[in-house]
Chains A and B, each alone.
Chain A
């Protein structure tokens, strides 16, 4: 008997080819729509935004909203910070996009980019967000461009000083530092070799990637800046030079590690967890990671506090006007279901949602969340964060060439710390370079 071989006729070939082409052209969208019961909601964000909105002690705040809207799930398209913005801007530049809400970092929202998003004032007027005045005013101000609001702040990361209580006790240091000078002094005492042979560095800042922002953390002890929010270049002035001189001295003395410029935030997590670093500066939210009993060798022993000011500013500031950065939710102009987008933003902006997200590890952008007993009792650094937020400001103002400015700053900060130039000379040269990058 002849074996029957199945062959495609022309009609079948065209059908299959057409379906494949459709799937390829739409990135499999029809299948996803089918899988989600016909309706989809797309959010572009960092993975942490999805986590704090859906997982943890505060519960999932997105699930009830989805049920109410009849949507199967949110398609969270998460990536690293640069990729999130690249995707968001690329999608928002199209005539039409299936992206509904994007998360954007404060440094990336400047006038040119704002043209890609819908002003939110009309939405706010029609369907107000609960107690909108409760959001930190500094954040709302910087999200307002030409008198129009472009984003709703949803998460902040404010720096703090993390210190290892066990090492402080071991080295006979009575308590946390009260001035920046004491930070340096204690850092020297905390640089030692453990009995198991592991070297401990007294003080570490992440030097890879965001060097400009992490240097600002130190300079704020003297109320220093590279560029002020009114676009004045002040990097060559004493506050910044003093901060860099301190870092340079600590580097020469071996208190800061030789690998400083290669240490990323995630590396620093490991350094603190394993006890390679005794003190570090970083987002206060990292306290949870440093004390994580499943990963840390010092669970419950890493304390977090606001960064102290330098001696000369004691009395002027309770704590240093430290660096804060925040994410906001925006609606691309090219989105197709904008009312639903606003509904999502509205839902995630309620006081209840902010508390839930804060309990899930989010940095709340509503002042009232810090008055919630449930939040305060669970977060050991809540009071410190509230103090810091009262005076905190962004490390760099947002402008067209701010990313380039950040790279140029990093290059000159490295030159000062590694000793290629004196801090003053490096900052003088930096000032000249920055002038050419500023708007106007």
Chain B
């Protein structure tokens, strides 16, 4: 048995303490940065929801008045309805398209790299540039799309006049811009499905859609849930696409919660109401994210068994 001297014991104890401390010290700068740029401003913004706050006045405590104002505002409910429809249509359309393309490309056909590059190209385009480009292409009078529709004897897309046309256009734009993100997640998952599973299923007589239904889909379900969760959160705060394209119009048909928030915060300078709206958005997003996280957790636990 080795007996340590008291000095050496102290040294080793100090060294052990230091070793325990080092990981915390190493992550401290990042944590500090997160505190400064994320946590403190978030707390301040949440606090602001309970104050009347604007330029030229001292912030005054108003309790839940800002929330009452938001919930009494017909434009908030219009924006909430539009947001819920927009997010669901956009996210599920993206998942459907992303999965379909991923499965198709997983069959390994010619020029696959080229196809992948083409599919993910929209993700490399700045949203602002993309919207301006589409605005030009979809111009009701002189746009290329309406010109083509005219040649085919079809009705024009009047997104500046007909509310549902406007809504459909912003949905399609958002889908066009973000399907590559969903595709990348799902393509990796589809490529990761073991070929042995397919071979075993084929031996059991599974063919075509059955292979997809009983092998591919369950295998990539965790990835689908991850994509769903991310896209739900991102789509919920969609702003620039809609703002640049329609500014929420015509007739409020594309007004989303993010636009409602922007107007209150940066056009009306009503920071309290904007903060209350932000808090409502955070709560709704958190509920959605929790649901998907919980489902994801259950799927993983089930798979582990």
Contact = CB atoms under 8 A, between A and B. Distances in A.
Interface of A: 82, 86, 89-90, 92-93, 112-116, 199, 208-209, 257-262, 401, 403-404, 407, 410-411, 414-415, 418, 420
23 contacts: A82-B267, A89-B55, A89-B56, A90-B55, A92-B55, A93-B56, A113-B56, A116-B56, A258-B141, A258-B161, A259-B139, A259-B141, A259-B160, A261-B161, A261-B250, A262-B160, A404-B263, A404-B268, A407-B263, A411-B249, A415-B251, A418-B161, A418-B251
B141 A420 contact: no
A259 B143 CA distance: 11
A126 B105 CA distance: 79
Given A208-B247, A262-B246, A415-B251, 11 more contacts: A89-B269, A93-B55, A112-B56, A260-B160, A261-B160, A261-B250, A262-B135, A403-B268, A414-B250, A414-B251, A420-B251
B249 A414 contact: yes
Q: What 8 A-B pairs have minimum CB-CB distances, sorted nearest first?
A: A89-B55, A112-B56, A258-B140, A259-B140, A262-B160, A259-B160, A115-B56, A113-B56
Contacts of A404: 263, 267-268
B219 interface: no
Interface residues of B, number: 24
Nearest to B247: A208
B57 interface: yes
Nearest to B55: A89
B158 A258 contact: yes
Contacts of B161: 258, 261, 418
B54 interface: yes
Contacts of B141: 199, 257-259
B109 interface: no
B143 to A, nearest CB: 9
Contacts of A86: 266, 269
Nearest to A90: B55
Interface string B219-261: 0000000000000000000000000001101111000000000
Nearest to B158: A258
A112 B57 contact: yes
Interface of B (DSSP majority class): loop
A114 B57 CA distance: 11
Contacts of B142: 199
Nearest to A115: B56
A200 B251 CA distance: 26
A304 B156 CA distance: 34
Contact of A112 (B54, B156, B246): B54
A215 to B, nearest CB: 14
Interface string B188-223: 000000000000000000000000000000000000
Contact of A411 (B54, B56, B160, B252): B252
Contacts of B55: 89-90, 92-93, 112-113, 116
Interface in B266-293: 266-269
Interface string B23-50: 0000000000000000000000000000
A433 to B, nearest CB: 9
A263 to B, nearest CB: 9
B59 to A, nearest CB: 11
A290 to B, nearest CB: 19
Nearest to B264: A404
B30 to A, nearest CB: 18
A208 B269 CA distance: 21
A411 B248 CA distance: 10
Contacts of A407: 263, 267
Interface in B137-196: 139-142, 156, 158, 160-161
Nearest to A421: B251
A82 B266 contact: yes
Among A199, A261, A404, which residue has the most Cβ atoms of chain B within 10 A?
A261
A328 B304 CA distance: 69
Among B135, B250, B252, which residue has the most Cβ atoms of chain A within 10 A?
B250
A419 B249 CA distance: 14
B32 to A, nearest CB: 14
A159 to B, nearest CB: 22
Contacts of A410: 249
Contacts of B57: 112, 115
Given A93-B56, A112-B55, A208-B247, A258 B269 contact: no
A404 B73 CA distance: 12
A414 B269 CA distance: 24
B23 to A, nearest CB: 23
A202 B149 CA distance: 25
A258 B251 CA distance: 15
Nearest to A117: B56
Contacts of B267: 82, 403-404, 407
B83 to A, nearest CB: 18
Nearest to B267: A403
A420 B250 CA distance: 10
A411 B139 contact: no
Contacts of A415: 251
Contacts of A113: 55-56
Contacts of B54: 112
A300 to B, nearest CB: 26
A1 B216 CA distance: 63
A209 to B, nearest CB: 8
A95 to B, nearest CB: 13
B178 to A, nearest CB: 23
A127 B250 CA distance: 51
Contacts of A93: 55-56
Contacts of A199: 141-142
Nearest to B143: A259
A262 B251 CA distance: 12
Given A112-B54, A258-B160, A418 B250 contact: yes
Nearest to A208: B247
Contacts of A90: 55
A221 B182 CA distance: 54
Nearest to B252: A411
A112 B56 CA distance: 5
B211 to A, nearest CB: 47
Contacts of A420: 251
